Each structure stands twice: as structure tokens, then as C-alpha cells.
Structure 1
Amino acid sequence: MHDFSLFGGGWMMFVWWFLIIALVVFAVRSLMNVNQNSKSKETPMEILKRQYASGEIDEEEFNKRKRELLK
């Protein structure tokens, strides 16, 4: 019979699986956090340009906000 001595016994195998799953979850959450931080580093001017380019605001609104930002 196997007693899973490599993992430290039957119940220890569950502990190892828990640690592996926790490590994977931690890694995924860390990678997602990095992606969110990169978006938050946009300058106000870059955000304004992105909004104009995507059609969220028109040219008049873009110019108005741009003047405010450049003050």
C-alpha cells in the first residue's frame, strides 16, 4: 500500500495541495494587481486624449478640458 510518504502522509497531502492552490491564487491576484496599477499611472492629459479618441467626448469638450489642464 502507498502511504504517500513523499508528501508526509495522507493528511499532509491535503496541506500540500492547499499550499499549491494558495500559491497559484496569490500569483494570479498579484498579476492582476500589476495590470490595474499600470492603468492608474496615466496622466490626466493621457486620459483626456483616450476619451477623445474613443468618442466619449467631442472636440469642443476636449479643447475646453485641455485648456483647463494646461493652466
Structure 2
Amino acid sequence: MMFWYDGNMSGWGWFGMSLGMVVFWGLIITAFVLFFRALNRPEAGGPHDATPRTPPAPPSAEQLLAERFARGEIDEEEYQRRLRVLHSTGADLTKH
């Protein structure tokens, strides 16, 4: 039988083999991770998607008013006054 280098590999040979094994196993692990991610990813809007996506509802007038109060754009007196107006005419606004 013929053996290369009589079983004595240089330092560069060991380095090359070690680097090759790290790259090989890194590629194998990366392939498995990508494969399982692809299997578990939900299909958005695909033909098998049973639940249609609906856009979020716009914020209500009370929510917008509360946000303005929270940001400090209006004071408490203005907030309470506008809130009373919304509640008193809220039924009239929905009749349009």
C-alpha cells in the first residue's frame, strides 16, 4: 500500500482539513435551518391561506383625542370638553 507523506501531514494540511470540516458542517447546519424555516413559514395570501388578511381598523375619534391628550397637544379641560361633544353627538354622527 502507498501512503502519502507516510502518515505525516504538514501543519497546513491539518489546517486545511480542519477548515474544510468546519465549512462543511456549517453548510449542512445552515441548509437544515433554512429548510425548517421554509416549512414553518406561514403563506401570506397564498392559495392555501384560509384566513384573509384585513387591514387594521382606523382609530376612533375618542382614541385620537386620547392620543392628543397623552402627547400634551391639548390640556385636560379641552380633552373633557371635546369628549363631551363626542359623546353627545356620537349618535348623530353615525346616522349619515
| TM-score normalised according to structure 1 size | 0.49
Which structure features the higher share of helix residues? 1
Identify which of structures 1 and 2 has the higher relative contact order when contacts are C-alpha pairs closer than 8 Å and 6+ apart.
Answer: 1
| TM-score normalised according to structure 2 size | 0.38
